[in-house]
Structure 1
Amino acid sequence: MDAQAPSPTPSVKVDHDGDKFTATFGGSWTVSGADSAERAIKALDPLSAPGRGQHAAEVTFDLGNVTTADTAGAWIIHRERARAEFVGNRVKLANVSQRMEFLLDEIENHIPQLLDRPRQPPAIVRCLSSVGQSTVSIGHDFVNLLSMLGVFGFRLSTVFSHFSRLRVISVLSHFDRACRGAVPIVMLMSFLVGLIVAQQGGFYLSSFGATIFVVDMSGILILRELGVLLAAILVAGRSGSAFTAEIGSMRMREEVDALNVLGLDPVEVLVVPRLIALILALPLLAFLSDIAAIIGAMLISWSNLGISPDVFLRRLNEVVTPLEFWVGIAKAPFMALIIGLVGCSEGLKVGGSSESLGRQTTSSVVKAIFLVIVVDGLFAVFFAAVGI
């Protein structure tokens, strides 16, 4: 069998007549001869030299002698044509085979376009823009929360005017999960916080010989503020996030849309039972939180400060009135309403992806805890203004 003849070496020959140049290409323009093609193509360097545009020429690339070509060879020819045109020359192709024309067209259609990167505004502008966007987002969230509150109030009035529409089983189920399931963690956290408050307060009060006043401080602080606030924060992280995840999952599986198709109101079916259960559960959790925190304060007072339980309870009964307890408990339904509204509204914002579900669940917990603290501060200002 005869050995296969080697492919002709790529070659370029340039002829000119005044401002008319003819570049004759010959040989095999393939990837195996790329090095030879790069050396041969240097004959075209004068046509793409800087300043060439001041003496524009008419250049013809004659490809009639090209025996074979692949994408690599066609790309080299296309590149040199672009370089010659870039300095102002008028380049045309002659004697182009059908295969070469196809390769050149494909290369032209697949050249990546350079995208102009937008200029970054100054840092102060970016900072102000971020603040503005955050402000607008907060405004939208506030409007959405008010809208959800209005819809909830309307549906609640409808339910109580037509009591048969109240889903009692759903309310009891959510109450069981929001209240009974949260009792251990709420009482444990409150017990530990009661220990810390009494220990720190007793440490500093003992320096002034006023150790007994740790009872006054612990009792008033726990009953008015800490008990309900701890219960609300834990419920926001536990039940508020659960509401968002449950409703968000239903949104992802299009179950909320299915309720609309069936003629059922999603707010009445999904939101109203959850909010009623949470409004009933949080005052009870706040009461248990108060008890656990006071027990913690009493134990640390007994072990560290020498205040026996009977002295602690007698002093607590003297300085703490039922009003202190009711001031704390009165905040619970409002905090529960805020937690439930935020959790349900964020759940209804979930899109069709798990990323959206995670983002809205995180947003629900952060917003609920923030608003709970804001509501507690507003109540503190209000009670101070009315002298309670």
Structure 2
Amino acid sequence: MQAEDGFDITQTDRGIALTGALTLHVASALHRDLARTQAAEIDLSGVTRMDTAGAYVLADLRRRRSADGTDLHLVGLGDQRAALLDTVAETLPDQTEQPPRRMTATDRLAALGEAMAGAARYQIELTAYLGIFLGRLVHNLLHPRELRITSVVHHCQEVGLKAVPIVALMAFLIGVVLAFQGSAQLRQFGAEVFVVDLIAISILRELGILLTAIIVAGRTASSFTAAIGAMKMREEIDAMQTLGVNPADALIVPRILALLLMLPILGLIANVMGIFGGALMAWLDMGISPGMFRARLVEDTDVSHLLVGMIKAPVFAVIIGVVGCQGGMSVKGDTESLGRRTSQSVVSAIFTVIVADALFSIFFQRVGM
């Protein structure tokens, strides 16, 4: 039968014969025409030229026949073309699919053990970076000239001032939701006035600082990891060490110190906006005037609720800062590692903050606060 694009396929007693040039220009047509034939032998003695594309078509056809359990004989190649065909055949991708291996109980136990060991190593690394921060902070406080005030102020603006709008809006909406949902339940018992206590205690004690810490963890932990990780990829941290600059003094202490200063302030802003949102909704939904709301807030809300929330703020700040800085310092030399560490820092910071809040709740309940 007549093929196209510079080569011919003819029938022989033992199979087919190819004549002409088997090059890249005819590879597609050659592959299409050879796929239609079931010949067991191909005579290539009439081929005038063959490049790697033609050799690839022949090698792929021979491998497919072998996979089906039949042999394909290529005759008349010559030494040079046979060597070319063998070289191309060695580079063919392996198409054998390995059946998925079923996990045994031992494999699952080993995977669990590896996960637990990885979590333990991660906790040890966080503890080590906490120690580095505390050690360098004490050193800088004893030697104030070494404290990078400009860097601390810059990070205060980044982690604190720029977070005020989102924190204030979040707290305001939380106060509105608490007042609206609380009034719907308390109205059934004629106790709408207790919505003031519900709003005050929930926001001052738990929601104000917790949700603020979660928002800051999402913004700041990712920012710390991305910034320090990018410097690690560009080998700027190695350059610092070469110049005699301690990376902990330049990168870790200013960031965590800025969080220590700004998170309590953001928590106070969240408390004020949350109570304001709750008071506004209580006025619109239940008719509790601002004066009545303020009077009940002052009379029935103990200052200990505010203290409980503010005590948590420095701990949450250290958690977020240490997790973010550790993630950045652990970045390898590729962007995939940077993205993975950034995501891990956000998740770890939020999870650790929630766990710490639960432990604080148990502790304060035990001590009667």
> TM-score normalised by the shorter chain: which range applies?
0.7 to 0.9
Partners of 1:216 and 1:39 in 2: CA distance: 86
Cα 1:209/1:109, change in 2 over 3 Å: same
Q: Which of 263, 277, 285 pairs up with 1:282?
A: 263
Report if aligned partners of 1:205, 1:211 keep a CA contact under 8 Å in 2.
yes
Q: Which of 280, 283, 289 pairs up with 1:302?
A: 283
What SS does structure 1 have at the residue aligned with 2:191? coil
Q: Which of 351, 354, 360 pairs up with 2:335?
A: 354
Which residue number in structure 1 is paired with residue 322 of structure 2? 341
Cα 1:116/1:294, change in 2 over 3 Å: same
1:118 and 2:111 matched: no
Where in structure 1 are there 5+ consecutive unaligned residues? 1-6, 15-22, 46-60
Per-residue CA deviations over 1:180-238 (Å, capped at 9, x if unaligned) read 22122211110110111011111110110111111111111111101111211111122
Residue 306 of structure 1, CA deviation:
1.5
Partners of 2:171 and 2:277 in 1: CA distance: 8
Q: Give, as a single letter, the amino acid of the residue that structure 2 aligns with 1:193.
A: I
Which residue number in structure 2 is paired with residue 255 of structure 1? 236
Q: Give, as a single letter, the amino acid of the residue that structure 1 aligns with 2:277.
A: G
Partners of 2:134 and 2:80 in 1: CA distance: 70
Q: Give, as a single letter, the amino acid of the residue that structure 1 aligns with 2:100.
A: Q
Q: Give, as a single letter, the amino acid of the residue that structure 1 aligns with 2:161.
A: R
Q: Which of 241, 261, 268 pairs up with 2:249?
A: 268
What SS does structure 1 have at the residue aligned with 2:231? helix
TM-score (normalizing by structure 1):
0.77
Residue 165 of structure 1, CA deviation:
1.2
* % identical aligned pairs: 37
1:328 and 2:306 matched: no
Which residue number in structure 2 is paired with residue 218 of structure 1? 199
Q: Which of 109, 134, 147 pairs up with 2:87?
A: 109
1:191 and 2:191 matched: no
Per-residue CA deviations over 1:300-359 (Å, capped at 9, x if unaligned) read 111111211111111111221111111110000000000011111111222333333333
Partners of 1:92 and 1:360 in 2: CA distance: 54
Residue 87 of structure 1, CA deviation:
9.1
Per-residue CA deviations over 1:42-69 (Å, capped at 9, x if unaligned) read 5x69xxxxxxxxxxxxxxx9x9xx4654
Report if aligned partners of 1:350, 1:360 keep a CA contact under 8 Å in 2.
yes
Report if aligned partners of 1:69, 1:100 keep a CA contact under 8 Å in 2.
no
Residue 133 of structure 1, CA deviation:
4.9
What SS does structure 2 have at the residue aligned with 1:351? coil
Greater C-alpha Rg: 1
CA RMSD of aligned residues (A): 3.7
Q: How many pairs align?
A: 344
Partners of 1:220 and 1:151 in 2: CA distance: 36
